[in-house]
Structure formats: structure tokens, C-alpha cells
């Protein structure tokens, strides 16, 4: 019998000048700043091979999002039709995972400087992946 | 004090002809088949607005992956240098989240037929997002 719930652990945390969601752009490409990803020390070996200039995908836990919202108006714009959260990028969703494509601008010890990142200061980071040009850009 | 662990719930499950990891391609674009995503009934409202032909991102819980591996050889190829899992797409990682870009080929009730998907039959699905051309393709 397959379990239906799983325990995610924070691997690190976002350190950003963005302090609250009202100040944050909706997506990274819309004027988001640089931010540091501070990894927990014990996960440092998992960075082996990471390079400045590399593009990566961060998965965060959007700790201020609401988990009981299944439909809303995209970008909180009431002129847009009501949509299911699974057909949008709403932060509010049953599992509030954030997905962020960023460039690595610096690596210092257990911290990565990344750009652009719309997640606010204190957001837990749960995964980091390299960008895969065959998988992430879709079929030709 | 920010919590360090979070509870993910399955929103649905993969129904696929791929029954074990040894049969599965490493990435969707490498010959993976169609698969059905069977959503739990209570999440059906979250599909409002989803369309056949749309590209979406699935986040899965790779339930057969190992969580205590921080470094390995990419694609299990010993000729490739040892790499940290955060600089690769290894399924083995502290939080074994799978990220899959797929096209929606059909929508029937609470199920989506998607292509291509390398996740095996029975893999829990934890999130579905629309592809964002400004966020997911990086800066121009």
C-alpha cells in the first residue's frame, strides 16, 4: 500500500532583500533581485560540480501560501477568469512548492548567490536541480 | 522559528506501462511513453482551465529513490565524474522530487493523459503547474 504523505526537509533557506510577499514580483523575470541560498552544512557535498554561471532550478516551500485554495484568479487579477491552481503558477496550492529557474552568480562555502529570485527572505529550499535542455525545454 | 520539515500529500498517482525503474528512460524525452495522471477526486476543481495540448510541469515523489545519497556518477555512468546531486538530475537526493515537463494529450474526468513521462507506475504526484515561458526558459 503506497503511502499518501511524505516528509520534506529543508535543505537550506533563502536570504533575500525581499521581506514580504507584497514586495515580491510574481515571477523571477519580473524584476526580482539576487538572493543567497544558504545550504545546511551537511548538504554541502551535494553541491560538488556546481559552477558559477550555471542555470539551476530551485524548489522551495512557499511557507506563507495557503494550501486549501483550489481555484483563484491568475495574478490576483479579477478580470482574469477563475482558474484551477494546477493550470496556473499560483503560490496557493495543496503542496505549496515554488519552482524557480535562476543563474548561479557566486558560490561561497555553503551559499549560492542566485538571480533572479522572487521568493522572500526565510523561504525554505527543498531541492536544487541542474537545468536539462532536453527535459525542461520540451520536445522540439 | 521556521519549521524545518513539511508534510507533502499525494494529489494523484501515475498510471504507466513502465513498471520498474530499470525499464524507464532517464528523462522523458528519451523514449518515455504516455501515462495517465489520476487525480484524487477532491482535487478536480484545481484542474479548471486545463486544456488538451497544454504543456505542464509535474512534480512527483520518486518513492523508490534513495534519500541519503549526496554524490553519484551522473546517469550511473562511472566514466562521468562524481557529482553532487544538486548539480545533476539524479533521482536520488534528500527530497526525491521529480520534475517532468509533459504535454496534456487528453483530459477525462479526473485523469490527464500526458506525454512523455519517465516516472514509473504508482509514482505519487504532488503538484501540477503550467509552463511559464518567462520563468521556465530563463532570461533572454
On whether the CB atoms of residues A54 and A104 are closer than 8 A, the answer is: yes
Q: Look up the pTM and report it.
A: 0.93
Domain-located, residue B3? no
Residue A40 distance to chain B (closest CA, Å): 11
On whether the CB atoms of residues B43 and B71 are closer than 8 A, the answer is: no
Question: Among positive and negative, which fits the CA dihedral A129, B87, B68, B30?
Answer: positive
Is residue B139's pLDDT more than 60? no
Domain-located, residue A89? no
3-state secondary structure B92-135: CCCCCEEEEEEEEEEEECCEEEEECCCCCCCCEEEEEEECCHHH
On whether the CB atoms of residues A125 and A59 are closer than 8 A, the answer is: yes
CB contact (8 A) between residue B86 and residue A6: no
A99 contacts chain B (CB < 8 A): yes
Give the range of the structural domain holding residue A99, as residue numbers without chain letter: 12-66+94-131
CATH number at residue B25: 2.40.30.70
Domain-located, residue B98? yes
State what percent of residues in chain B have pLDDT above 90. 79
Please, what is the end-to-end C-alpha distance for chain B in angstroms? 38
Give the separation between CA B72 and CA A48, rounded to whole angstroms.
10
Give me the pLDDT at residue A1, please: 46
Task: Tell me how crowded residue A75 is: count the other CB atoms within 10 A of its CB.
Answer: 12
Cis peptide before A116 (omega within 30 of 0): yes
Please count the structural domains in chain A: 1
Q: What average pLDDT does the structure give for chain A?
A: 92
On whether the CB atoms of residues B17 and B90 are closer than 8 A, the answer is: no
Contacts of B78 (CB under 8 A, 6+ apart): none
Residue A57 distance to chain B (closest CA, Å): 9
Q: What average pLDDT does the structure give for chain B?
A: 92
Give the separation between CA B62 and CA B66, rounded to whole angstroms.
9
Is residue B136's pLDDT more than 80? no
Is residue B140's pLDDT more than 50? no
Taking Cα atoms as reference points, which of B39, B131, B22 lies closest to residue A57?
A: B131
Is residue B105's pLDDT more than 90? yes
Count of A-B CB contacts under 8 Å: 220
CB contact (8 A) between residue B46 and residue A93: yes
A132 contacts chain B (CB < 8 A): yes
Contacts of B139 in chain A (CB under 8 A): 29, 103, 116
Give me the pLDDT at residue A140, please: 35
Domain-located, residue A111? yes
Give me the pLDDT at residue B27, please: 81
Domain-located, residue A122? yes
A1, A6, A140, best to mutate vs chain B, most B CBs in 10 Å: A6
Domain-located, residue A1? no
Domain-located, residue A45? yes
Domain-located, residue B140? no
Q: What is the pLDDT of residues B1-30, one digit of tens each?
A: 467 899 999 999 999 999 988 888 888 878
Q: What is the pLDDT of residues A90-113, one digit of tens each?
A: 999 999 999 999 999 999 999 999
Contacts of A57 in chain B (CB under 8 A): 99
Q: Closest residue of B to A95, CA-based?
A: B8
The one-digit pLDDT tens for each residue of chain A (140 residues) are 467 899 999 999 999 999 988 888 888 888 899 999 999 999 999 999 999 999 999 999 999 999 999 999 988 889 999 999 999 999 999 999 999 999 999 999 999 999 999 999 999 999 999 998 766 765 43
On whether the CB atoms of residues A122 and A13 are closer than 8 A, the answer is: yes
State mean pLDDT over B68-91.
93
Q: Closest residue of A to B39, CA-based?
A: A86
* Cell 477563475 sits on residue: A82
Which grid cell sits at B33?
Answer: 511513453
Amino acid at each position: 500500500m503506497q503511502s499518501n504523505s511524505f516528509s520534506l526537509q529543508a535543505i537550506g533557506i533563502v536570504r533575500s532583500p525581499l521581506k514580504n510577499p507584497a514586495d515580491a514580483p510574481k515571477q523571477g523575470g519580473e524584476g526580482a533581485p539576487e538572493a543567497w541560498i544558504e545550504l545546511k552544512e551537511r548538504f554541502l557535498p551535494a553541491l560538488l560540480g556546481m559552477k558559477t554561471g550555471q542555470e539551476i532550478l530551485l524548489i522551495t516551500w512557499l511557507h506563507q501560501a495557503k494550501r486549501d485554495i483550489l481555484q483563484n484568479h491568475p495574478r490576483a487579477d479579477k478580470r482574469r477568469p477563475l482558474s484551477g491552481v494546477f493550470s496556473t503558477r499560483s503560490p496557493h496550492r495543496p503542496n505549496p512548492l515554488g519552482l524557480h529557474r535562476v543563474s548561479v552568480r557566486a558560490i561561497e562555502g555553503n551559499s549560492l548567490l542566485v538571480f533572479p529570485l522572487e521568493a522572500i527572505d526565510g523561504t525554505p529550499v527543498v531541492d536544487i536541480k541542474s537545468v536539462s535542455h532536453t527535459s525542461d525545454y520540451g520536445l522540439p
